[in-house]
C-alpha cells in the first residue's frame, strides 16, 4: 500500500523529490502556495514557467525545484469551486492523476501535495482531501513505479485535523 501521510507546515521547506504547486493557469506565480513556491524557488522558476505556455485546469507540468530542497516542482491547476456542479471533482482528480503520472515518469520516490484548489479557488477542504486520497490510491492500484511516499500538506493545524479525519475515514492510513 502506498503510504499517504498528512503533515502540517510549509511545503517549500520539505525535503522530498517533488512538491506540487497549486498553480494558476499562467504558471507565473500568484498568491498562497503558488506565490510562496515561486518566492522560495527563485527567479529561475519564473523564467522556465514563462516558456511552458501555461497549463489547463486538470493538467500538470514539471520544472526543476531550483532553490527549494525538492528537486522538482509539479505544477497543477485545479478547478475553481462552483458548488460541485461543474465537474470540479473530475478536474481535481485529473490534477492528482497527472501529477502522479509525472512523478512516475521521473521515477520520483516522494511527493508532497498542498490542498489543491482549497485556497482562493474555494474548494471545500474535506471534499478535496477525499478526492485527493481516492485518486492517489487509484493511481497506486493501477500503476508501478509510483512514489513510495506521498504527503498531503496542511498549512494550518486545523486543516491537518480535517485532512487526517478524511484519511482515517477513507481507510488509507
Catalytic residue set: 34
The 60-64 sheet, strands edge to edge = 4-8, 149-154, 110-113, 18-22, 72-76, 60-64
Query: DSSP assignment, residue 11?
Result: G
Which helix or strand (DSSP H or E) is residue 7 part of? strand 4-8
The strand ranges marked E within the chain are 4-8, 18-22, 60-64, 72-76, 110-113, 149-154
Contact 147, 12 (CB under 8 A): no
Chain-centre distance for alpha carbon 162 = 17
Contact 94, 133 (CB under 8 A): no
- Greatest Cα pair distance, the chain, in angstroms, is 42
Amino acid at each position: 500500500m502506498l503510504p499517504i501521510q498528512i503533515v502540517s507546515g510549509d511545503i517549500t521547506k520539505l525535503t522530498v523529490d517533488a512538491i506540487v504547486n497549486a498553480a494558476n493557469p499562467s504558471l507565473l506565480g500568484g498568491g498562497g502556495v503558488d506565490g510562496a513556491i515561486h518566492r522560495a524557488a527563485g527567479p529561475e522558476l519564473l523564467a522556465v514557467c514563462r516558456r511552458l505556455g501555461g497549463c489547463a485546469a486538470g493538467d500538470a507540468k514539471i520544472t526543476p525545484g531550483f532553490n527549494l530542497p525538492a528537486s522538482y516542482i509539479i505544477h497543477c491547476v485545479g478547478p475553481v469551486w462552483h458548488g460541485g456542479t461543474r465537474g470540479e471533482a473530475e478536474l481535481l482528480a485529473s490534477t492528482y492523476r497527472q501529477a502522479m503520472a509525472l512523478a512516475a515518469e521521473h521515477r520520483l520516490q516522494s511527493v508532497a501535495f498542498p490542498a489543491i484548489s482549497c485556497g482562493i479557488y474555494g474548494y471545500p477542504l474535506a471534499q478535496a482531501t477525499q478526492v485527493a486520497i481516492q485518486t492517489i490510491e487509484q493511481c497506486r492500484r493501477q500503476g508501478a513505479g509510483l512514489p513510495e511516499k506521498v504527503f498531503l500538506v496542511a498549512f494550518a493545524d486545523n486543516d491537518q485535523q480535517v485532512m487526517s479525519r478524511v484519511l482515517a475515514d477513507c481507510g488509507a492510513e
